[in-house]
Amino acid sequence: MPTNENPTGPAPAGENNDKPKKQKRGDGSGLNKKEIRELNLAESLVAVASKPERLTILEPHEIDAEFLGAITTGIKAARGQGSAAVQNDTGKEGATLNETEARQNLVIAMRQVQAAAKRKWARTQPHKLDGYAVGKNIDASRPVLEEHSAQFIETLNTSERPPSINTTFIAKLATARSDFMSYGNEQGSKQSAASGARDARKQRVATVKDRRLELQYAADGAWPPGVPGNAAIRREFGLPPNRFLSVRRKKAA
């Protein structure tokens, strides 16, 4: 039986009770509290409507097992999309940590190249330091670091190398850059996937809510108020026992 959210008496769960509230975090499922309440309410109403004696009366109102099954499928899908959002958020956090470490490794290797270049050319041929961005903020931003690291590798492979910077070190530098790029791309991919899952979840919850309301309006007509014996059944469907479910109309813009 649905939980009544009004501590002073029964209250309908229809549009007229959906007061705007600040979005709150959920329980780790990827759903906020309002979405969790909506899915739980819809699930409980499906359980009530699925009772054979209830479904027989609801079928003339175009509520059948297939309709209830669609609500259940939507509930499962919304919860799954919430979980997918959480998983991708977690993946993004991991990729961010990996990217931070890869960035540090790349910057250290580039600083080592700059140190070697200054040792060889700072006193005699300072113009050669331009190829190694000496004096510039090489990690001012991600694009800047990507550009300078690519320039370093190109210069080392096509020009005279500073002392101690050999093929092995260049391979290490290239690997550090590749890791940095890879984790950055993964971070963006996970963030995009999480946003997509949240958008899909929001739409799915809206569909569940619409069908839940359709079920309640059908029950409102199947067991009208004022008829002896209907009050208890109406409460099971989250309906006010002594009046029809009202509709909140949106104000014109």
Q: For the segment 90-101, what is each residue's pLDDT rounded down to a tens digit?
A: 777 777 788 888
CA 172 to chain CA centroid, nearest Å: 36
In angstroms, the CA 166 to CA 172 distance is 10
Q: What does the block give as tokens for 80?
A: 């799954």
Residue 201 CB partners (closer than 8 Å, separation 6+): 30, 31, 35, 78, 81, 82, 85
Residue type, 202: K
DSSP label at 20?
-
Per DSSP (E only), the strands in 89-153 are none
pLDDT at site 177: 92
Predicted confidence (pLDDT) per residue in 138-147, tens digit: 989 989 999 9
pLDDT at site 252: 56
E strand or H helix at 79:
helix 65-121
pLDDT at site 250: 63
pLDDT at site 226: 87
Q: Is 224 helix (H, G, I), strand (E, B) or coil?
A: coil
pLDDT at site 81: 83
- Which residues, given as ranges, of the chain have pLDDT below 50? 1-27
pLDDT at site 21: 45
3-state secondary structure 48-67: HHCCHHHHHHHHHHCCCHHH
Q: What does the block give as tokens for 70?
A: 């669609």
Q: What does the block give as tokens for 121?
A: 């050319």
pLDDT at site 31: 67
CA 201 to chain CA centroid, nearest Å: 8
Residue 110 CB partners (closer than 8 Å, separation 6+): 132, 138, 148, 149, 152, 173
Cα end-to-end span (Å), the chain = 38
pLDDT at site 251: 61
Burial status of residue 170 (CB atoms within 10 A of its CB: 0-12, 13-18, 19 or more): middle
Q: Up-side HSE of residue 75: CA atoms within 13 Å toward CB?
A: 21
DSSP label at 28?
S
Whole-model pTM?
0.60
pLDDT at site 176: 92
- Torsion sign, CA atoms 160, 165, 168, 170: negative
